[in-house]
Structure 1
Amino acid sequence: MIPQLFSFLILLNSASAYFINEEECLNYTVYPVQYELKLIPHILRDGTSYLDCDITITVIANARQVQMIELDAKDLEIHRESVKVFKNEVNIISSVRPYEYDRRMGKLYLYLREELEPYSERNTQYYIKMFFRKFLKSDEVDDGIFFVKYEEAGRQKSMIATRLSPDRAKYFFPCFQNPQFEAVFRFKVLLPNTADDQLSDTSLTVAEELQRHSQKDYQTAIQYIPSPQVAVHQVGFHHSDFASKSVSATLTNDTLTLWAPSTHLAKHMFILKFGQSVLDVIQEYSSGNRPLVNGPINIVAMPKTIETYEAGSWNLLTVGEHKLSNIPQYTSIMQKEQMSYLLTQQLSRIWLGNPGEVERTRWKQEWFKEGMATYFGYYFLSQSGRSFWDMSVYGLQTRNKAMMLDWRPETPNLESFNRTLAINIPSRYHPLVSYKTAALIWMVENWLGSDKFHRALVNYLNTRRGKFVSVEDFTTFLQSETVECEFFKGYTVSDVLSSWFRQPGYPVVKATVYRNQDTQDIVYLEQKQFTFSNVTRGHHKYLIPISYFTQYTENCFNCFQPKFTIADSGYTFKENLNGGWIILNRNASGYYRVNYDNVTWKMIVNTLNSPERYRINALNRAQILNDAFALYMSGDITYELAMEIVSSLEHEDSYVVWDAVLSGYQMLKIDGAVGKMTKQLYNEWKMLLREVISNVYRRVYNDIDRDDRIRMFRTRIITFACSIGHAPCLRDLEPALHQVTRSLYDPDLRQICYFTLLNRSDGYDSIKTVNSFEREDFNTAERLAKEEVRFFYRLPVERLRPMPLIESSTVTTFTPVTAIKPVPREKASSSNSIHRWSDAAIMSAFALIAFINW
């Protein structure tokens, strides 16, 4: 600890210079160098809580004629006589008007009796001092600092915690709420020793504990070493009576310490061991023994429903306890996968750069870091030895998730977030930034080859430690490391990625084959921006890396190592198709959709319906099915062709394909799409899907293997089958519906049980949630049920479609138009059950309107 303390003294002398040299801070007249907080937390036995604090802020000035200091402070009780501003040892606060506190705006104005002197070689610093009290509210996460009640061994206890992102630090202490300002933090915590206070001796901050000692009138005084330079939203404080368990990485001295009530620790061992395996994977990947942080990484299991980690945290990670617990009778397989991914993503953020590094790595574009952390979150998860799927499955999922968000004309491009911190990315765009960036990185990986790509990527990150990382620098380095993989027509990796970063949305590529039986076939490619709406498609031209394979590969030119891109509206090349199909976007890694001419579509569908369907790998089968839903709703293919493509699912048994179908099904509910949905059309789609899911449903329902992948597949299929009214699924679910009302159930089926019950007029009253796992699934089911009701309620009732005229030499007849496979091949009784349930569901949907409004 002593060498670190000595380093701080050097840091403090140079800290001011750091801020003066930061370009973005030159327009500010006063900014902080150090915060010193002496905290006295009170958790009273009567169920209330408050925090007393003495604060000293060391500041410097950057301009003349400054006679007022503006701070951010919200809901703080400031002791009037304590407010002082010292120059050396002289208080220069105005005695006539010392300060003004605008409680509504959250602003604290300090008035001085003399102007501040700009910082110079004389080391002119000022010290703002005050005492304040913060009354804490129970479970109010939006207040930044709050207390949470919980039960341990039959006793009621409380804890204090902070969640200061994105702009909640002002609820904790008076500060300069500017995310560009970084300062050193020095904490001292005094533990009260009164009969009214709960005995709590666990206090965590963003710095390591230096020492504990007794102090008059207090149980203990805890001193912490000075923190690194951090922004106020990265500060954290935790105070409780928690216990801990720790694990260490194999190759470095990185330590994960998980804090929770002592009786709860056992259920967190899965995630703790998992985190250890992820640390080992990261260190093996980075080919070095460089620790992620200088000190332990504390993970706090909050006895409250908090869904995610704070992006800026690196050594004090707080999240809801249910996101860290693996309890077989309560934790579903979906929750288990999600908790694993969230921790892996957070550790990836820390690895990519954090204030606790020995040499600080900074990212100029934090949206790029967020996308990279999402990509590595999935990549390290797939490599951890406890993974559910490999990276190809996760890569396709990021592609599909991003495309569902990226089609609206008003959606911004990624580079529009260049000056935005991760905490300031609007919540409606945060998934887009994360998933789209990750999908584009996965596209480049597949183009260059995984080994070559990852070798270049880790070399880049290792060379940039302690420096700045930028998109431009990254793409330039990647190009230099993979120069032999230069794209056709001289396009570089930088060119390709820039065309996607600087333009919103994504394209659909139309492949038209001009077939010639005597010579090579000619393939004509053209691109246009994809959108579901009727608005004019943008004139964006993406640099699209084209890869493909053919039905008969014997004489195929570029099936294995394609090396060209299309940038203009049209591109033509020759290929030996030998009377077969061509499929673009090999392994579905490209961030674009593909449409074909009718003949090629028919050939592809014929293959999908034949035993030769495995000529098309699962990733491309998934892409074809997902694209079919999208192209139908965007008006690019007909209803009949879309139904025919989806009908090929009848014998599909791949998780990745069905996962893409489930994602595609949600596109049927897009408002304002060209493919106008009606009640009749929507029911026809559900009838078809009930039919094609029949085979795979029966197979997975009878599979009771507890392997994680089988559980995941089983859960997804049963949930989808029951949600679309598949009669055998609803019959099989009946016992589970009775069990879930008594809290005796298969947790993997809990969400669909809630959803089904909510679609019954009396189902709401029978649902009881007693823990965070159940509440999470109930909230999801309730949201989906409301969305389904609202969607179906808005759909117009379609008039009978005109019947085509059939000419005959004898009589003229009218034949009704039917779907490709309009009648399920289930038994008649099952079919009747489906219709009865569907009618009941529709009727109950209208009954739920009152519940939704309530």
Structure 2
Amino acid sequence: MTQSREVLAMMDAHTTTFGRKNGCTISRCGAFLLSVFFLVCLVATGFLVYHFAPCLDENPRKSCIDTTSDSVISTAKAFSTSSIKKKTENLRLPRSVLPDLYEVKLIPFIWEGNFTFNGEVKIIVNVTEDTKNVTLHAVDMKIDEGFTSIREYSKMSNRTRPIEILEQRNDTERQFHVINTSGTLKAGKQYVVHLKFIGYLNDYLEGFYRSSYKVRNQTRWIATTQFQPTDARRAFPCFDEPAFKAKFQISIARPKNMTSISNMPRRGEAKPVSGLHWYLWDNYETSVPMSTYLVAFIVSDFEMLQSEAKNFRVWARKEAIEQSRYCLSIGPRILSFFEDYFKIKFPLPKMDMVALPDFAAGAMENWGLITYREATMLYQEGVSTNGNKKRVAEVVAHELAHQWFGNLVTPSWWSDLWLNEGFASYAEYIGMNAVEPSWKVLEQFVVHDLQNVFALDALESSHPISVEVGHPDEINEIFDRISYNKGASIIRMMDHFLTTEVFKQGLTNYLTERAYQNAEQNDLWDALTKQAHKSNALEKGVTIKQIMDTWTLQTGFPVVTVSRQYRTGAAELTQERFTLRNGTIVTYDEKQPLWWIPITYTSESQLNFNKTQPSYWMKAEKTITINDLGASSSQWVIFNVLETGYYRVNYDKTNWQLIIKQLNKENFRNIATINRAQLIDDALNLARAGKLDYSTALDVTSYLAHETEYLPWKAAFVGMGYFDSMLAKMPGYDKFRKHALKLLDNVYKQVGFKDSINDPQLTVFTRINVLNWACDFGHDDCVRNAVAQFQNWRTTPNPNENNPISPNLKSVVYCTAIRVGGQTEWEFAWQRFLETNVGTEKDLLLHALGCTREAWILNRYLDWAVTENSGIRKQDVTLVFGAISSNIIGQPLAFNYFRNNWARLREYFGTSLLTLTNIVKSTTRGINTKYELKDLLEFATEHKDELGSATRTVQQAMEQAEANIRWLERNHAAIRDWLVRNTA
């Protein structure tokens, strides 16, 4: 502001001088300065007009959105780059001292007004090179520096020579505790580092933290852990990087009326704690070598159920323990299945699974002690939905897969996080299918994982699967769909092009060779290459590294364009990176990427939708030619059979028309269900990116009037969801709703508004989606049924115990009744939320409460979400913001709330930004005006030093918003015209 005041003072002075009637008295110097000043003003004025003035072009379809958006996205990129550059300092530990064994002793004080813990740790370390420095991690704890000692280690005697300590210091920025010694720690020797400390049982759901629940209005407290990726350092000083594997001897002191559990079984009987007669020590067996982020311990008053073999146990609140029986039923079977799949026995003597009242993520794969939020582990028959049951099965399978892929063999650094999460995200489907084969989950992978991640990976601000990270904020940034879903998708692609037999054997070799050690992706590539060559699954001279580096080290994915030569029967295939900004001026920081793409295809004459091994490879080539497709000029061809490859496919106009013709025939099912879903998803997204005209893409979807299968409809609902969010405030929206209801008419009649326990899983899922859309678009029968069922529940005696609504219909009934109702319906559902004992039911109600169209209720709901003791747990705030943001009325309210209450949100969630990152994602998803984008950019610029792990998410949100703006500008008129032509 100072500079502006100076300019105003200059203007006042010049006005006074020029206002004199007796002539000009300005000097040459003054004239020069005045000229410069006016030039600056002109440039500034031009800048403001260019970026913020309304468009003056007479053509109403041409606007200044493009120029404004280009400016915004450029600023966003500059903002992101500067934020990342700030984090590039070296945050890695030196390798001169390596841990071998930890002896950890912790005494948590779990009562109001205290919430601290006393700790002591002895670390036997190996010195690899002479040093006078021991550097480890410690944060948010007070270390008793007067107690700290370093001694030579001897198994024979404790009377070893102490090493004099010169100084100790905390490097707060890097979360280091540095111990400098006067004597040299000699390479090849072992030493014992001994520290005492006091920590804090925080309520940010990270490190060693506190959680609570109520029984008859009495609060019960527990102490639990969440260390991934970098929070073991909040529980005890340690070498908190995944490559620093060591053994652990854990001792936990607990009140006599509580129990404790850790990674390993308890050793012997509990022993009294000196000076604390109401406490007992639980000492645990020494663990196998593992990374710090996998260490876990819990002190609670939970109940326990166990398998017949007594080596598999589930834990939960006494009031919820019966809800863990499904988990106990499938857990041992999935564990046994993975032992057979990997051909490696589970290496620990027991497995515990614990449902926690407060947990930030869905679950955590701590070795031998997996922790869950209640809704992902507990299932109540007659209350929870089929979707809830599937969610429990997939999370259990995911975490059990980690016991091998991630725990037994661990990435050397977080750059290869995807090796953990990508593999577990794929293996969860395999494990689930082993125990619930009737669910057909392997088919669902395409719509739930592969197509789901395409949208994020089509942004320029996406990132490679394997990405360099250093700062903890950067590590947290990559716990996203790229690491999980894209990682899973390219692993599935390998499974198909290598064949499952070769793929599995290669995995077994990799896990056996690297057991209890660390690895990088190249280690996996080497193991798979050797097995592929041995089994003749890959031609000599070609390596998995050669193929897969193009998928893991490059950002994005390709679209393969198929141009048929109908006279000769040949086709030319061309690849390029697919981005949502296609059709606009794009500048990449590097040359256009190319991928090794496995090419599979079938045709109308072949109808072979089972052959998923590649017929051809695009070997990082821009173009290849297939000389004979085996199809006549009047027959369609479809590429990427069962969508096993991680790429989109575009066709020439004639082939699209042949496909559309087939889809509109009675035998449209000749095209495999997965590929029908692929055609819908590809067509709508190719049009969204400007690579296919919308009339063709929408013609592809018209056949849905006859479709009843889940996968194509799921793909369609995602595409229609984008239309819905973009067009909801635009003229002609009624045409879109009318067209959607027309498409839904047949499938609505097929699935009906009645749930049946005998229906296949996919029928149930189809019904839920169809009813949600039909009711949302005002389908009379749907709305009438939903409102009637909700009112019936309201008048039922003791509604907490007697809910007449079928579990699978709850989501549509709750949301619809609350949307068309008012405060009475909302308050009733809120009360049910407060009183239910079932976590999955709480989730359903939290989502439904965001459906109201009453703005004041939504604002109050947002405020309650970040208010202590409101009834909404911190773990559930993301769900609340997401529910409100999916509401046309609620999205701008949620966006403005997060912007205007940033300081409050940061204080409420503390150092953990996981929830904030998810809030950013949900509240910005629907932005499609330059003014909202400008608001977001201003927020990002103002708070760029506070965003932490939300930095990349904010950048992606700005790019997505810019793409939305361009999409409306480019496509709204064409879509409206098509809807007018095709809606009676």
Q: Give me the TM-score of the superposition, normalised by structure 1.
A: 0.78
- How many angstroms apart in 2 are the aligned matches of 1:698 and 1:212? 63
Tell me, yes or no, if the aligned pair for 1:367 and 1:422 is still in contact at 8 Å. no
- How many angstroms apart in 2 are the aligned matches of 1:381 and 1:748? 20
The SS at the match of 1:545 is strand
- How many angstroms apart in 2 are the aligned matches of 1:390 and 1:801? 35
Tell me, yes or no, if the aligned pair for 2:138 and 2:237 is still in contact at 8 Å. yes
Q: Report the counterpart of residue 8 of structure 1 in structure 2.
A: none
- How many angstroms apart in 2 are the aligned matches of 1:220 and 1:558? 60
Q: Report the counterpart of residue 352 of structure 2 in structure 1.
A: 298
- The Cα of 1:823 is off from its aligned counterpart by 3.0
- How many angstroms apart in 1 are the aligned matches of 2:266 and 2:245? 21
Q: Report the counterpart of residue 161 of structure 1 in structure 2.
A: 224
Please state if 1:58 is matched with 2:118: no
**Mean alpha-carbon deviation: is it higher for 339-348 or for 367-376?**
367-376
Q: What residue identity is the alignment partner of 2:394?
A: Y
Q: What residue identity is the alignment partner of 1:170?
A: R
Q: What residue identity is the alignment partner of 2:302?
A: F
- How many angstroms apart in 1 are the aligned matches of 2:472 and 2:424? 11
- How many angstroms apart in 1 are the aligned matches of 2:640 and 2:544? 17
Q: Report the counterpart of residue 566 of structure 1 in structure 2.
A: 618
Q: Report the counterpart of residue 203 of structure 1 in structure 2.
A: 260
Q: How many positions carry a matched residue from both structures?
A: 752
Give deviations 1:662-687, integer Å, cap 9, x for gaps.
2333444799xxxx998246654443
Instruction: Classify 1:247/1:528 alpha carbon distance in 2 versus 1 (closer, same or farther; 3 Å).
Output: same
Q: Report the counterpart of residue 553 of structure 1 in structure 2.
A: 606
Please state if 1:38 is matched with 2:92: no
Instruction: Classify 1:214/1:541 alpha carbon distance in 2 versus 1 (closer, same or farther; 3 Å).
Output: closer
The SS at the match of 1:209 is coil
**Mean alpha-carbon deviation: is it higher for 293-302 or for 76-85?**
76-85
Which among 328, 338, 347 is matched to residue 400 of structure 2?
347
Tell me, yes or no, if the aligned pair for 2:599 and 2:640 is still in contact at 8 Å. yes
- How many angstroms apart in 2 are the aligned matches of 1:430 and 1:348? 19
Instruction: Classify 1:758/1:135 alpha carbon distance in 2 versus 1 (closer, same or farther; 3 Å).
Output: same
Instruction: Classify 1:188/1:467 alpha carbon distance in 2 versus 1 (closer, same or farther; 3 Å).
Output: closer
**Mean alpha-carbon deviation: is it higher for 229-238 or for 794-803?**
794-803
Which among 413, 433, 440 is matched to residue 483 of structure 2?
433
Match runs of 1:520-539 below 5 Å: 520-533=568-581, 534-536=584-586, 539=592
- How many angstroms apart in 2 are the aligned matches of 1:746 and 1:28? 59
- How many angstroms apart in 1 are the aligned matches of 2:427 and 2:448? 14
Give deviations 1:480-530, integer Å, cap 9, x for gaps.
14425649xx866554333322322112222222323xxx42322222211
Q: Report the counterpart of residue 224 of structure 1 in structure 2.
A: 284
Please state if 1:76 is matched with 2:144: no
- How many angstroms apart in 1 are the aligned matches of 2:174 and 2:508? 46
- The Cα of 1:348 is off from its aligned counterpart by 0.6
Instruction: Classify 1:593/1:727 alpha carbon distance in 2 versus 1 (closer, same or farther; 3 Å).
Output: farther
Q: Report the counterpart of residue 6 of structure 1 in structure 2.
A: none
- The Cα of 1:411 is off from its aligned counterpart by 1.9
**Mean alpha-carbon deviation: is it higher for 582-591 or for 219-228?**
219-228
- How many angstroms apart in 2 are the aligned matches of 1:366 and 1:679? 42
The SS at the match of 1:291 is coil
Please state if 1:583 is matched with 2:638: yes
Match runs of 1:710-721 below 5 Å: 710-721=763-774
The SS at the match of 1:414 is coil
Q: Report the counterpart of residue 50 of structure 2 in structure 1.
A: none
- How many angstroms apart in 2 are the aligned matches of 1:636 and 1:680? 25
- How many angstroms apart in 2 are the aligned matches of 1:512 and 1:662? 29
Tell me, yes or no, if the aligned pair for 1:152 and 1:261 is still in contact at 8 Å. no
- How many angstroms apart in 2 are the aligned matches of 1:472 and 1:76? 41
- The Cα of 1:302 is off from its aligned counterpart by 0.9
- How many angstroms apart in 2 are the aligned matches of 1:801 and 1:98? 66
**Structure 2: gaps of 5 or more residues:** 1-90, 153-158, 848-878, 892-925, 930-963
The SS at the match of 2:444 is helix
Tell me, yes or no, if the aligned pair for 2:289 and 2:516 is still in contact at 8 Å. no
Match runs of 1:4-15 below 5 Å: none
Q: Report the counterpart of residue 595 of structure 2 in structure 1.
A: 542
Tell me, yes or no, if the aligned pair for 2:503 and 2:528 is still in contact at 8 Å. no
- How many angstroms apart in 2 are the aligned matches of 1:559 and 1:124? 57
Please state if 1:376 is matched with 2:436: no
The SS at the match of 2:605 is coil
Tell me, yes or no, if the aligned pair for 1:209 and 1:224 is still in contact at 8 Å. yes
Q: Report the counterpart of residue 783 of structure 1 in structure 2.
A: 882
Q: Report the counterpart of residue 604 of structure 1 in structure 2.
A: 659
- The Cα of 1:125 is off from its aligned counterpart by 1.7
- The Cα of 1:598 is off from its aligned counterpart by 1.8
Q: Report the counterpart of residue 385 of structure 2 in structure 1.
A: 332
Q: What residue identity is the alignment partner of 2:118?
A: D
Q: What residue identity is the alignment partner of 2:578?
A: F
Which among 181, 187, 190 is matched to residue 250 of structure 2?
187
- The Cα of 1:611 is off from its aligned counterpart by 0.4
Q: What residue identity is the alignment partner of 1:402?
A: V
The SS at the match of 1:544 is strand
Tell me, yes or no, if the aligned pair for 2:411 and 2:420 is still in contact at 8 Å. no
- The Cα of 1:627 is off from its aligned counterpart by 1.0
Q: What residue identity is the alignment partner of 1:51?
A: F
- The Cα of 1:81 is off from its aligned counterpart by 4.9
Tell me, yes or no, if the aligned pair for 1:557 and 1:576 is still in contact at 8 Å. no
- The Cα of 1:60 is off from its aligned counterpart by 5.2
Please state if 1:483 is matched with 2:547: no
Which among 120, 136, 159 is matched to residue 201 of structure 2?
136
The SS at the match of 1:504 is coil
Instruction: Classify 1:235/1:478 alpha carbon distance in 2 versus 1 (closer, same or farther; 3 Å).
Output: same
Instruction: Classify 1:822/1:221 alpha carbon distance in 2 versus 1 (closer, same or farther; 3 Å).
Output: same
Give deviations 1:710-736, integer Å, cap 9, x for gaps.
322222222233344444433332224
Q: Give me the TM-score of the superposition, normalised by structure 2.
A: 0.69
Give deviations 1:385-412, integer Å, cap 9, x for gaps.
3662242332453221221221112322
- The Cα of 1:334 is off from its aligned counterpart by 1.9
**Mean alpha-carbon deviation: is it higher for 362-371 or for 328-337?**
362-371
Which among 309, 312, 335 is matched to residue 256 of structure 1?
312
Tell me, yes or no, if the aligned pair for 1:736 and 1:746 is still in contact at 8 Å. no
Tell me, yes or no, if the aligned pair for 1:73 and 1:175 is still in contact at 8 Å. yes
- How many angstroms apart in 1 are the aligned matches of 2:609 and 2:712? 28
Q: What residue identity is the alignment partner of 2:752?
A: Y
The SS at the match of 1:298 is strand
Tell me, yes or no, if the aligned pair for 2:312 and 2:352 is still in contact at 8 Å. yes
Which among 222, 233, 245 is matched to residue 305 of structure 2?
245
**Structure 1: gaps of 5 or more residues:** 1-23, 194-198, 805-815, 825-854
Please state if 1:446 is matched with 2:496: yes
- How many angstroms apart in 1 are the aligned matches of 2:506 and 2:981? 50
Q: What residue identity is the alignment partner of 1:477?
A: K
Which among 330, 341, 352 is matched to residue 285 of structure 1?
341
The SS at the match of 2:561 is strand
Q: What residue identity is the alignment partner of 2:616?
A: F
Match runs of 1:98-117 below 5 Å: 99-100=168-169, 108-110=177-179, 112=181, 114-117=182-185
- How many angstroms apart in 1 are the aligned matches of 2:629 and 2:442? 31
**Mean alpha-carbon deviation: is it higher for 381-390 or for 422-431?**
422-431
- How many angstroms apart in 2 are the aligned matches of 1:784 and 1:155? 30
Q: What residue identity is the alignment partner of 2:269?
A: R
Give the root-mean-square deviation of aligned CA atoms. 3.9
Larger helix proportion, structure 1 or 2?
A: 2
- The Cα of 1:820 is off from its aligned counterpart by 6.9
Give deviations 1:342-388, integer Å, cap 9, x for gaps.
11011111133535xxxx67778442232122111111211223662
The SS at the match of 2:439 is coil
Please state if 1:172 is matched with 2:239: no
Please state if 1:406 is matched with 2:457: yes
Tell me, yes or no, if the aligned pair for 1:629 and 1:667 is still in contact at 8 Å. no
Please state if 1:416 is matched with 2:467: yes
Q: Report the counterpart of residue 720 of structure 2 in structure 1.
A: 665
- Flag as ranges the 4+ runs of structure 1 deviating above 6 A: 102-105, 360-364, 419-424, 556-561, 795-804
